[in-house]
Structure 1
Amino acid sequence: MKNTIEKFYNALNNCDGKSMVACYHDDIIFEDPAFGILEGERAKAMWLMLCETQKNKAFNVEFCNVEVKENKGSADWEAIYTFSKTGRKVHNKINASFVFKDDLIIKHTDEFNLHKWAKQAMGIKGIFFGGLQIFKTKLQNQTNVLLDNYLKK
């Protein structure tokens, strides 16, 4: 299962969405501050979409502290990229937790400081609004619309 986490993040660093989603169980539940809760094919499609949009761009992922006990795991990872809407550089530090079933990830939760992310990605708007629930709700609505459009392709 530790190998599954390592495979997942190495694939993310290489923008290899197909290898990433191969680490997910069909009944996957993913959650993070930017997308909220995504289940099954929506969770898999989110990574495929993100990998497609970051391919051939300055995108770097590093991970460490991979731990697995029984059917649970965790890792710390960092993503460094340019936020496409604003052209601003982002260095996001994320804590991930996992639950496994049949040696695949069935639950994946990413936690990060959304206010800190918003300051980097959006500048002054992020400073003032990034810590508010209304910002989080609006961001999740926007990211899910992007995902809906991706799924319609």
Structure 2
Amino acid sequence: MIIHDFYTAFQRKDIAGMQACYAQGARFEDPVFPGLSYEETCQMWAMLVTAGKDLELTFSDVEAQGEHASAKWQATYTFSATGRKIVNPIGATFELRDGKIYRHRDHFNFYRWAQQAFGPTGYLIGWAPFFQKKVQASARRSLEKYMAR
């Protein structure tokens, strides 16, 4: 099943293996990276895997019914911008086309993530929409810089 293949490749930090799980025209979104195109999605995973020297992940509860699938996964890593340790439980939903991932949405508690990533600042303002937008803009700039290389 393609979801197992994706997360197994992710665990191995096999960027090409992860990217091969996506259909052309696929889209991705999560609270930090909303509305990514196919190319942006492929490059985002490459950037995160490359930067995540201590990245570890587990996955479970993979379910599929027809063209829809879901999974739970947890990422544990050091957030490079602050050097803080992150343990982020994530729920993922997928729409599949021709046996590949066509839509991928990760759900996690942004406020909980911000508290871990930014410490006191995340605790004080991590809940605020303007703060999430600031983090999204910073993540977008990082992705664009990575893609320009």
The number of aligned residues is 149
Match of 1:8 in 2: 6
2:124 counterpart residue number? 128
1:7 shift after superposition? 1.2
Identical columns (%): 39
Q: Deviations over 1:24-71 (max 9, x none)?
A: 0111110100111101111111111111112xx221100000000000
Q: Matches of 1:107 and 1:74 in 2, distance apart?
A: 11
Alpha-carbon distance in 2 for matches of 1:8, 1:147: 21
Tell me which of 99, 106, 112 is aligned to 2:102: 106
Equivalent in 111, 118, 132 of residue 115 of structure 1: 111
Q: Which runs of 5+ in 1 are unaligned?
A: none
Task: State the superposition RMSD in angstroms.
Answer: 0.8
Distance (whole Å) between structure 1 residues aligned to residue 144 and residue 94 of structure 2: 25
| d(CA) in 1 for partners of 2:100, 2:88 | 25
CA distance in 2, matches of 1:59, 1:145: 21
Match for residue 56 of structure 2 among 44, 50, 60: 60
Q: Do residues 77 (structure 1) and 91 (structure 2) align?
A: no
Task: Show structure 1 runs of 4+ deviating over 6 A.
Answer: none
Cα offset, 1:95, TM superposition: 0.4
Query: 2:23 corresponds to which residue?
Result: 25
Counterpart Cα distance in 2 of 1:114 and 1:46: 18
Q: TM-score, normalised by structure 1?
A: 0.95
State the one-letter code of the partner of 2:98.
D
User: In the aligned structure 1, how far is the partner of 2:92 from the partner of 2:41?
Assistant: 15
TM-score of the superposition, structure 2-length normalised? 0.97
- Confirm or deny: 8 A CA contact 1:35 1:139 kept in the other structure: no
